[in-house]
Amino acid sequence: MPTTPAGTPPHPAGSERFLEDRATYTVRGSAQPDLEAGVAAIRQVVRTLRPKPGVYRMLDARGEVLYVGKARSLKARVANYVQVKALSSRLQRMVSQTRGLEIVTTNSEAEALLLEAQFIKRFRPPYNVLLRDDKSFPFILLRAGHDFPRITKHRGARKVPGDYYGPFASAGSVNTTINALQKLFLLRSCTDSFFARRDRPCLLYQIKRCSAPCVRRIDEGGYAELVQEAKDFLGGKSGAVQRKIEGQMAEAAEALDFERAAMLRDRLRAATFIQGSQAINAEGVGDADIFALAASGGQVGIQGFFIRGGQNWGHRAFFPSHTAEIAEEEVLSRVLAQFYEEVPPPRAILLDRDLPDRALLEEAFGALAGRKVEIGVPQRGERRRLVEQASRNATEALERRLAESGTQARLLRELTEFLELPDVPRRIEVYDNSHIQGTKAVGAMIVAGPDGFMKNQYRKFNIRSAQTDDDFAMMREVMGRRFARAMEEDPDRESQGSEGATWPDLVLIDGGKGQMSSVRDTLEELGIEHVPLIAIAKGPDHGREGREVFHFPDGREKMLTVNSPLLFYLQRLRDEVHRFAIGAHRAKRSRAISASPLDEIPGIGPARKRALLLHFGTAGRVRAASLEDLQRAPGVSEGVAQAVYDFYHPGG
């Protein structure tokens, strides 16, 4: 169901109602693990604590956060850590590294739970269960404040005015839905600035994915009706929308308006596609999230299904870390708390097992949502069937993950998670330019996939129109030519994600924010969306490998650790495109060095060119020679001499 910024409940971050008091306690000591020193540090803090709810942070000698915990009674909970014999080996290791604590008291245990989840996400402590999937979830946004509202994908804080629908499990599921919604409701997806400067419809209108309000092919009233239908469809009234379109199609056919009937038929097919692409049947469920847990080989996998308005909006597998020696129910509780720290909770959360702190989670999630949230374990009916399906998916996802090792498949899966891709890429395109002070400029594209580099797919671009001292303009030209051809060959992207695909699943650009902006603007001008773009820059220590910064189209930046296998893989991709671009540039430069102005004269082959150069010495002297001198050159006929003279003296 849609949520609006005005209706979003206050977040615990920075909200004073969650904080009553804050105090930091630190005991200096050896940086080496020392169980007695850790117990002494905790015992000193316990003396000052009160039996109030709150959050505590265990700190090591450097002030780094080891663990974040919440408590109904801080004094009682923290005091448990001095009872060393009752602790697990994992907690004993944590206590031995502890040299200080930071305490934050709250008004209730539910508020402490929310604050704990926020701190875990911020500090990523090594002794907490961590939801490693830290990427934001996408929403569909119908923007407000414009005569012709725009439909688009949205990530991050919901501050833009409009109606939000989500969350969707992945960028792939939201992109697929938006593509189908464009066919179904013909809503524009371009930016307001692009919309304002159009004087003719873009390609999306030609392929029947937009009603072209930019050039008034539809009036405000007609467009508003389409927007309302889209809201009804996304809000769970898809059946009513389909029946309305069916009625309109029948009326058009009866009136012999076959063109309109065909258009309505295509819209109806798009609606059927959205419902037919549902992996599970969630009719009658309303708004609910379903979670199931599987454990094997010391690892835990959690599968989530996301149902909104009776429609399945995708599913995602989570593989939390730091789960050793922790009960499965506690792992699931911690994952749920961290998950809903960012995503608005639905009215119902369905699980495959009961949780000891279920009532506390319901209270905390209800405070976030501003309404009642129920957590249940269904025993029968459709909801039980959905939970069982989630449980099977959790087991299968964990088995697949355990089967993967340090192979290409694992690297590509890690790449998918790190770069927030909709699916594991089968076709990765990497781009770079090469030139020397703007001369002999070429663009280069390499292609990689699950089986390595696909060298038969490599392509070079001789820069034609761009100023060759402008790297951004060169990148715009390369991407414009590449994707204009893709639109021509496969406008519906039917081959994407398959063998021999025309469209890439990921585009990597060698460069920073400027190159990213150039590519993003170029694709927008072509009316192309949902092509994952990432720019790779050298980072703060320019020239030092291992400090690369990955720029996202929305301005976000990410980095990898210097010893990450994924970083090495991305460096190999970047080095390969460097090699290919430099090789193409050198080949072009070598041809230029060996080239002669005589090459441009029609009918002059290598033998006659050599004869002219041997006789006159240089191409300049050939240019300055009279017709009689050319005719006297050995091996040059009167006809060839006349052709050479006419080329250099076109006026006679």
Residue ending a domain, choose from 592, 610, 634: 592
Q: Which of 243-252, 441-450, 548-557 has the lowest mean pLDDT?
A: 243-252
Vertex 519: Cα angle to 502 and 553 (nearest 5): 100
Q: What is the DSSP letter of 563?
A: T
User: Residue type for 88, please?
Assistant: S
Higher pLDDT, 468 or 42: 42
Same domain, 421 and 535: yes
DSSP string, 584-623: HHHHHHHHHHH--GGGGSTT--HHHHHHHHHHHSSHHHHH
Model confidence at 92: pLDDT above 80:
yes
For residue 318, report the phi and psi dihedrals to the nearest 5 degrees: -115, 140
Q: Give the mean model confidence (pLDDT) for residues 245-258.
A: 74
pLDDT score for 7? 39
**C-alpha closest to that of 368 among 18, 2, 20:** 18
Same domain, 392 and 420: no
Tell me if 129 is assigned to some domain.
no
DSSP string, 107-154: SSHHHHHHHHHHHHHHH--TTS-B----SPPPEEEEE-SSSSPPEEEE
Tell me if 134 is assigned to some domain.
no
Give per-residue pLDDT as tens, 282-333. 666 778 999 999 998 788 999 999 888 777 778 888 999 888 889 999 999 9
Give per-residue pLDDT as tens, 133-165. 656 788 889 888 888 999 888 887 778 888 888
pLDDT score for 374? 95
Give the whole-number percent of the chain exceeding pLDDT 90: 31
Model confidence at 96: pLDDT above 80:
yes
Tell me if 132 is assigned to some domain.
no
Same domain, 13 and 90: yes
Same domain, 145 and 114: no
Q: Which of 352-361, 465-474, 577-586 has the lowest mean pLDDT?
A: 465-474
**C-alpha closest to that of 99 among 28, 155, 160:** 28
Same domain, 144 and 222: yes
| Counted domains in the chain | 5
CA–CA gap between residue 488 and residue 574 (Å, rounded): 28
Exposure b/e, 99-137, CB count within 10 A at least 16 = b? bbbbbbbbebbbbbbbbbbbbbbeeebbbbbbbebebeb
Give per-residue pLDDT as tens, 204-222. 888 888 989 999 899 999 8
| Phi/psi-derived region of residue 358, left when phi > 0, alpha when psi is between -120 and 50, beta in every other case | alpha
pLDDT band at 360 (very low <50, low <70, confident <90, very high): very high
| 3-state SS assignment for residue 283 | coil
With beta carbons less than 8 A apart as the criterion, state whether 108 and 39 touch: no
With beta carbons less than 8 A apart as the criterion, state whether 531 and 490 touch: no
Same domain, 357 and 421: no
pTM over 0.85: no
pLDDT score for 139? 87
Same domain, 435 and 547: yes
Model confidence at 120: pLDDT above 80:
yes
The two three-digit tokens of residue 4, written as one number:
């609006």
With both helix axes pointing from N to C terminus, report the angle between 471-489 and 513-525 in degrees, rounded to the nearest 10. Answer: 40
pLDDT band at 552 (very low <50, low <70, confident <90, very high): very high
CA–CA gap between residue 644 and residue 607 (Å, rounded): 14
Same domain, 462 and 381: no
Query: What is the Rg, in whole angstroms, of the alpha carbon atoms belonging to the chain?
Result: 32
* CATH label of the domain that carries residue 643: 1.10.150.20
Model confidence at 533: pLDDT above 80:
yes
Give the whole-number percent of the chain exceeding pLDDT 70: 83
Tell me if 525 is assigned to some domain.
yes
Same domain, 293 and 402: yes
Give per-residue pLDDT as tens, 400-452. 877 764 567 788 888 999 998 988 898 999 998 876 555 568 888 999 988 78
* CATH label of the domain that carries residue 547: 3.30.420.340
The two three-digit tokens of residue 613, written as one number:
């150069």
* CATH label of the domain that carries residue 301: 3.30.420.10
Same domain, 163 and 305: no
Tell me if 335 is assigned to some domain.
no
Model confidence at 543: pLDDT above 70:
no
With beta carbons less than 8 A apart as the criterion, state whether 302 and 272 touch: no
Q: Which of 111-115, 309-313, 382-386, 411-415 has the lowest mean pLDDT?
A: 309-313
**C-alpha closest to that of 430 among 561, 565, 549, 535:** 535
Tell me if 218 is assigned to some domain.
yes
Q: How many CA atoms lie within 13 A of 60 on its CB side?
A: 16
pLDDT score for 371? 92
Same domain, 20 and 146: no
Tell me if 234 is assigned to some domain.
yes
CA–CA gap between residue 79 and residue 45 (Å, rounded): 9
CA–CA gap between residue 543 and residue 538 (Å, rounded): 6
Burial class (CB in 10 A: 0-12, 13-18, 19+), 160: middle
Same domain, 49 and 11: yes
| Bond from prior residue into 167 cis (ω within 30 degrees of 0) | yes
Higher pLDDT, 170 or 76: 76
pLDDT score for 336? 95
Residues spanned by the domain of 35:
5-123
| 3-state SS assignment for residue 223 | helix
Q: Which of 358-362, 414-418, 510-514, 627-631 has the lowest mean pLDDT?
A: 627-631
Cα–Cα distances in angstroms (integers) from residue 474 to residues 463, 512, 551, in the given order: 7, 14, 19
Tell me if 91 is assigned to some domain.
yes
As a whole number, the mean pLDDT across the chain is 82
pLDDT score for 95? 94
CA–CA gap between residue 74 and residue 167 (Å, rounded): 35
DSSP string, 420-458: T-SS--S-EEEEEEEEETTEEEEEEEEEEETTEE-GGG-
CA–CA gap between residue 390 and residue 102 (Å, rounded): 39
Dihedral sign for Cα atoms in the order 121, 125, 130, 131: positive
